[in-house]
Every structure is written in C-alpha cells, then in structure tokens.
Chains A and B, each alone.
Chain A
Amino acid sequence: MATYLITIASITLANKACDILKSNGYACAVEKTPKNYASGCGYSVRLKGNIEYAVSLLESAGITPGSIINTGNSE
C-alpha cells in the first residue's frame, strides 16, 4: 500500500488532520516534514491508503493540504 505525506504548515492543523483521518479509519501519524520535501519548518501527516479521499476529508474540514508526496510502498 502506498504511503503519503501531506504537508501542513501548522502543528495544530496537522494534529487535527491526523485526528480526522484516524476517525475515518486511516493509519497515520504526525511528523516533521523531511528537509528534502520542505523549506523551513512545517509538519506532515504520514498516512497509508486512499489519498484522494483523505484529501477530500481534510478539505471538507477546512484544512488545506500543502504538498502531497508519495513516499513509496510499505509492506
């Protein structure tokens, strides 16, 4: 299953995003955005699963994702 990073500028919104995704059955975690994916500070939500639906869940909660990065498949 593909693993994605959704970058979100604010730690509060990253935690809120993770909360929303977990309550919709996603496995996810908040982490600092890796340096190769961001300039400056920022956090990301790492998740596995349907990225389109995840993004739609966040957008309907008023959270605008930054970049969406496919970090490859995990076992």
Chain B
Amino acid sequence: MINFDNAATTFPKPETVNAAVSEAMERYGGNPGRSGHRLSVDTAEAVYISRKKVASFFGAEPENVVFTLNCTEALNFAIKGIMNRYGGHIVISDYEHNSVVRPVFSLSKKGVNYSVAHIYPDDNMTVNSFNNAIRPDTRLIVCTAASNVTGQIPPIEKIAELCRRRNICFIVDAAQAAGVIPLKVGNGINFICAPGHKGLYGPSGTGLLISDGKYRLIPLIEGGTGSLSMVFEQPSFMPDSLESGTVNVVGIHALGKGIDFISSKGTENIRKHEEMLCDRFINGISHTEGIRIYRENGGNYAPIVSFNAEGFTPNELASLLSNDGIYLRGGLHCSGMAHTALGTAPNGTIRFAPSVFNNHNQVDELIYSLKKILKKP
C-alpha cells in the first residue's frame, strides 16, 4: 500500500504518536480540569503540555490555544464567533474549502454579506484583489494558507499586513499549511485554524483554533468547563470560553507528540522532502500525452499536485490506481468554489499529496502505474 492522500489525513503516523495514544489510554484516564484527584490533575497537566507545544509552534500563549474536533470546527468557531459579535461584511478567497465557504454562505442567509477575491499566481495581483473587495463594513478576511486543491500559496503575510492596516480581523485556514509552512499568529494574523491530523501528524479528531488574543469570539457551544460552575453564563476567558465538554485527551496528548516530531525534523526540511517528491512526480508525468497538471508559472506551491488525465474522470483514475494499491484522492476535495475558479468543475481533479514518510521509489511506482493505465485502450 502506498498512500499519497496525505492532504486528507496523513498516514502512517510517527511511532511516537502511535505510542502516545496507548500511553494516554493507560495513564491519562481522568477528566482534565474537573476533579482534584491525582488522575484528573495529571491528565490536565498532560493536556497543558500539549497546549504549550502548540502555542510555542504557532507563536501564541497557551491559553489562546483551543482544542477542537478538526479544522472545520475551528473555522466555524472563528468565523461565526467574529461575525456573530460584529456583523458586517466578509472577504474570502476563491480557493477556499467548504469549511470556509459553507459557514460564510450560512451567515449570508442571516444578513452578513461577503465578497470573493481571486488568487492569482502574482502575489501583488492577489493582494489587490483582496484590497478591492474590502468595503467600509468589512470585519473579516478569511484565506487559506495553501489551497487544498492545487497547493497554491497566497501571500498570507501581505494579506495580513493589509488586514492590520485596515483593522480587519484575519483568519488563516492552515489545513494544508500547518507542518510544511511556518505560520505564527500576530502581525495581522488574528486566528490560525489547523487540523491536528494532517501535517501535524496527530490522530484524527483533533483540530486547533489559535488566537493572538486580540478578538474575543462569541462561543457557538456552551456547557461545562470545570470553571465558574455556579455562574450560568459561559466563562469569558480562554480557552474555557470555547472549550466546553470533555476534551479529546488521547488525541491531544498524541498531537503533542506529532508537534515534537515535526519540530525535530524541521518544517522546512519536511517541505523540501515533499517538494522533491512533487518535482519527481511532475517530471515523470508532465510529458505524458493527455496529462494536465494544475500549476501556473510564477505560482508558489505547497507540496500538492493536482492533475487530470484525458479519457478518465478523476474518480475513475483514483479507483484504477487504488486497484494497484496506490491511494490518491479524486474529485472535488470539498472545494467546489476552487474547482469552479480553476475550470475543473464538476468532476474535479486527482490529487497527489505526499507526506514525510513517502519516498522516491513510491513516486516511481505511481508514475509506472499511471502510465500503464493511460496506455490501455
């Protein structure tokens, strides 16, 4: 089995992450922040240690790290948490995932307006597109740090600077960037939303909402926090404000080990390795008749390659490769808006997304299989 569907979720995970799942099941069985006995206090400390690692990785204070179910939940908390407080207008990019598009569309049914900025291969044109979309009542800009369809990287720092200058809240969707592109809150980035189970190599069921502390979000979920229990109102302090109910201790503990793993490897080294695999893949198939790769000259890309092969839908091709034990994702990647912008709707593309655990022999095997499939009448 060769997995090149790591943009959906990374697999395999580091051994240390696997071991941490067992360790948490065996050692951290208390409910953190609820009781005073040793098991509960030790479990809370284990959660705090992971929180601190995440905070350090993304340049935040530990209390401004909120553990969520996934990146989608984090984005919903952030987008709706801001707009429910301030109202007004939102700008998103045309490369956003449905985890951004759908909450924004849902808010538009309740009176919030939104505009869509285009992402160009040229950074200045992209920033101009965002700038032109801003209105006097714009409260929020949301932008992916790397497209989950093509891997294209928008100029996040420049958009952040624009937001800082115009006093607009900026949420970065780091679903594909976390772990391969260095990102920190601050300097115009108010929130980073990230999955724990992709480039951070944690288990599924883990996500992160990281704040720079500037904006207070209206919580979408209220409930038990282990704090101020005689008060009916949800606590206003972080992370309790946004972390109701028992957190995913096992996932959080293992996610901390995932952060250790990528910190020890180095984000830049991981990206270089994965880019080397992408280059090998592109060089291996780019001259094959009927292959179209969705990358533009001048664009900056995270290690993802989207392509299509003439005569096959992306799902057909993914299915044929799966028969050879090679796993890629075909289709729309939950990003209908991005595929419309790319001109690949309604069938989408097939996506090659390596992880740190893939190697060039596996890429060569994929190229061989792909060429074999395309040769068949």
Interface residues of A, Cβ cutoff 8 Å to B = 9-13, 15-16, 19, 30-32, 39-43, 62
Given known contacts A41-B227, A42-B227, A30 and B35 CB-to-CB distance under 8 angstroms: no
Check B120 for interface membership: any CB of A closer than 8 A: no
Contact: B229 with A40, CB < 8 Å?
A: yes
Which secondary structure characterizes the binding site on chain B? loop
Besides A11-B33, A41-B228, A43-B33, 15 other CB < 8 A contacts? A9-B227, A9-B228, A9-B237, A10-B235, A12-B48, A12-B238, A13-B237, A15-B45, A15-B48, A16-B48, A16-B61, A16-B63, A19-B48, A40-B231, A42-B228
Report the bound CA distance from A47 to B44 in whole Å. 18
> How many B residues, CB 8 Å from partner?
25
A residues within 8 A CB of B32? 11
Q: Within the complex, which residue of A9, A10, A13, A31 is in contact with B36, where a contact is CB–CB below 8 Å?
A: A31
Interface digits, B231-245 against A, CB 8 Å rule (1 contact, 0 not)?
100010111100000
Q: Which B residues touch A30, using CB under 8 A?
A: 41, 44-45
Please tell me if B1 contacts chain A, counting CB pairs below 8 Å.
no
Residues of chain B having any CB pair with chain A under 8 Å = 32-36, 41, 44-45, 48, 51-52, 61-63, 226-231, 235, 237-240
Decide: A11 and B52 in contact? CB cutoff 8 A. Answer: no
Closest Cβ neighbor of A35 among chain B residues:
B36
Asked if A39 meets B62 with Cβ closer than 8 Å, knowing A12-B48, A12-B240, A15-B44, the reply is no
Residue of A nearest to B52 (CB): A19
Nearest B residue (CB) for A16: B62
Residue of B34, B51, B227 with most chain A CB atoms under a 10 A cut-off? B227
Check B36–A12 contact: CB distance below 8 A.
Answer: no
Contact A32 B36, beta carbon cutoff 8 Å: yes
- B198–chain A nearest beta-carbon distance, Å: 25
Interface centre among A10, A31, A39 (most CB of B within 10 A): A10
- Measured CA separation A12–B237 after assembly (Å): 10
Please, how many angstroms separate the alpha-carbon atoms of A15 and B343 in the complex? 51
The interface residues of chain B lying within 8 Å CB-to-CB of A16 are 48, 61-63
Q: Which residues of A contact B235 (CB under 8 A)?
A: 9-10
